[in-house]
Amino acid sequence: MSRFLLAVTVAAVAVGVAVADLGPPRGSKYVPVTTTVKLEKSFPDHTFYVMGFGPGAAPLTKVELDPSKPTKVDAKSRYGGRLFAVPNEVAKSFKTEKELTDALRKEKPPAGVSMTSIGSRTTLKEADKRTAIDRVLVISAGDAKTGLKITDSEADEKDPEGPTATAPANGRLLVGGLAAALAVVAGGLWVVRRK
């Protein structure tokens, strides 16, 4: 019985790893996304940060932006990340950088903080002739409540955020989740049976 459970555990882990490396959905393709940021003017009362998603992603990293030249930003993660415009007063309200990082990881950032998703790749239909997406984000003045305004050159009515990182398709996510659950159950049964 223990050999069977061990085999199921190994298979479940292998399926989970394999699901993570599957290609795009049928009829689609992945293309790289580069993001360039332009400032409409200087914002000395704000600090700009990039934070990546997923394993191995860059931690909260300060980004120097200059209104005289566009700057490329990268989340250094295949899962993408976020660009934040944080008012200096808001940043000072956190005692440590870890507290600031935790606050920015939440779905809704603190009041006055602007954010947008940045991706390293996105999914396009196979018929789309583009082989890459070059996003240009323009940061302009906003108000104290909502923060600076971040406008995306690739955004449209259907997708106001523009292209962002691509998450695994729902079916793959389901299979990966089931594989992980089976691995945990099988491992638990194996430990219980050994005693």
Question: Which tokens is 5 given?
Answer: 């459970």
What is the arithmetic mean of pLDDT over 157-174?
49
Between 72 and 182, the more confident residue is: 72
pLDDT-derived band at 193 (thresholds 50, 70, 90) equals confident
Residue 187, pLDDT > 60, answer yes
Domain that holds residue 128: 25-167
Name the residue with higher pLDDT: 155 or 183. 183
State the pTM of this model. 0.66
**Are residues 143 and 178 located together in one domain of the fold?**
no
Residues 148 and 192 in one domain: no
Residues 118, 136: contact at Cβ < 8 Å?
A: no
Q: Answer yes or no: are the C-beta atoms of 28 and 122 closer than 8 Å.
A: no
**Do 112 and 138 share a structural domain?**
yes
The total of structural domains in the chain comes to 2
Q: Are residues 129 and 151 in the same domain?
A: yes
Closest among 59, 27, 24 to 167, alpha carbons compared:
24
* Share above pLDDT 70 across residues of the chain, in percent, rounded to a whole number: 74
Torsion of CA 45, 138, 56, 99, to 10 degrees: 30
Rounded distance between C-alpha atoms, residue 185 and residue 195, angstroms: 16
Residues 67 and 6 in one domain: no
CA 5/CA 191 separation, integer angstroms: 10
More confident residue, 158 or 148: 148
For the chain, what percent of residues have pLDDT higher than 90? 27
Q: Are residues 176 and 168 in contact, defined by beta-carbon separation less than 8 angstroms?
A: yes
pLDDT at residue 40 tops 80: yes
Closest listed residue to residue 52, CA positions, set 108, 124, 101, 103:
101
| Amino acid type, 178 | L
Within this chain, do residues 113 and 144 fall inside the same structural domain, yes or no? yes
Which of 87, 83, 11 is closest to 53 using CA atoms?
Answer: 83
> What is the Cα–Cα distance from 115 to 80, expressed in whole angstroms?
13
